[in-house]
Amino acid sequence: MNKGRDTFFLQITRLAALSIVFIIIVMAHELFRGSELAFSRFGLGFLTGSEWDPVHGKFGSWPLIYGTLVSSLVALALAVPLSLGVAIFLAELAPPWLREPLSFLVELLAAIPSVVYGLWGLFVLVPWLRDVVQPLLGKTLGFLPLFQGPPLGVGMLAAGMVLAIMILPIITAVSREVLLAVPQSQREAMLALGATRWETIRRAVLPYGRSGIIGAIILGLGRALGETMAVTMVIGNRPQVSASLFDLGQTIASVIANEFSEGFDELHLSALIASALLLFIITFSVNIIARLLVWKVSISQGVSRD
């Protein structure tokens, strides 16, 4: 009787596990099948073509790939220093009574729906960028191609900043875990040499957690690459390749969200599915790299933990 029930549950859970694999295979299959038309029409030009023009049936996804990568890199450039600062404070420096409430606040940021970030970006961040930040950047750093052009507010910079706030929680939370897992014996070894607290963090704690922190950053990158709603609301939705962060742009995720309901000509649809496949491949590889790094760290800590 008992044994029969056990086998029953075993079968059920096994089925559940298998269904995950099944879903992934079906999805990948559908993406490949759906993108066939676009790839057979444009070949490699689908990746390198710089014109995405549904009206004239031209589909080169380079501006989308570019927009996806650049907005995510801007997000990383802003979020990584901030997240690491918060993580170091939480794990190493904050007084115990402050740790829990602060960690909770950071995790709360992760719970805010992305459309809310989008609204906030549109109504708070964009005007501020347009009226204050971009004029200032233009005046001081305007000699760099990055900061040239009229201050529009919306655009690549706005997208990068909204993304930065959205990936802050994951990078902070994972880095904090990594830092907390650094054995106390490593800190004491450095302190015993006469190092200050900051030197101990810089020379013992951070190097020890290095690959875990890289994993955290890549997890954040994975999240930024695939984010759709908030980016669509602030990036300007113009598929173009421009060196300036003040310019409008477009990402793969937001082009799909924007254009899926537009017309239904077969080639357009196939091009959208093909860009979905690209995004799938990019985020999938980024996540695998991140998992491997975090996994490597937890393994090595398993042996040498004190």
Partner 1 sequence: MSVKIKVENLNAWYGRNQVLKDINLEIEANKVTAIIGPSGCGKSTFIRCLNRLHEVVPGARVRGHVWVDGQDLYAPGVDPTEVRHRIGMVFQKPNPFPTMSIFENVAVGVRIHGLKPGVKLEEIVERSLRMAALWEEVSDRLYTSGVSLSGGQQQRLCIARALAVEPEVLLLDEPCASLDPISTLKIEDLLVELKKNYTIVIVTHNMQQAARVSDYTAFLLDGELVEYGPTPEIFTRPRDKRTEDYITGRFG
Note whether 194 binds partner 1 by CB under 8 A.
yes
183 binds partner 1 (CB under 8 A): yes
Cβ of residue 193: shortest distance to partner 1, in angstroms?
4
Torsion angle of alpha carbons 221, 43, 41, 259, nearest 10°?
Answer: 10
Pick the piece of the chain touching partner 1 (CB under 8 A) from 23-31, 117-125, 185-193, 249-257. Answer: 185-193
Does 299 contact partner 1 by CB under 8 A? no
Size of the site for partner 1 (CB under 8 A): 23
Q: Per CB under 8 A, does 192 bind partner 1?
A: yes
The dihedral built from the CA positions of residue 227, 272, 28 and 292, taken in this order, carries a sign that is negative
Q: Which of 6, 53, 188, 262 binds partner 1 (CB under 8 A)?
A: 188
HSE-up of 263 (CA within 13 Å, CB side)?
10
- Beta strand extents in the chain (DSSP E only): 52-53, 58-59
Distance CA 82, CA 63 (A): 29
3-state DSSP percent of the chain in helix, strand and coil, to 5: 80, 0, 20
Q: Which is nearer to partner 1, 182 or 274 (CB)?
A: 182
Q: Is 187 in the site for partner 1 (CB under 8 A)?
A: yes
Count the alpha carbons within 13 Å of 122 in the hemisphere toward its beta carbon. Answer: 14
* Interaction mask 131-170, partner 1, x per CB under 8 A: ----------------------------------------
* Residue 186 binds partner 1 (CB under 8 A): yes
Stretch that binds partner 1, among 3-11, 55-63, 162-170, 179-187 (CB under 8 A): 179-187
Helix (H) or strand (E) holding 30: helix 2-42
Candidate residues 207, 243, 285, 296; the one interacting with partner 1 per rule CB under 8 A: 207
Of 99, 203, 238, 291, which one interacts with partner 1 (CB under 8 A)? 203
**Sign (positive/negative) of CA torsion 47, 65, 233, 147?**
negative
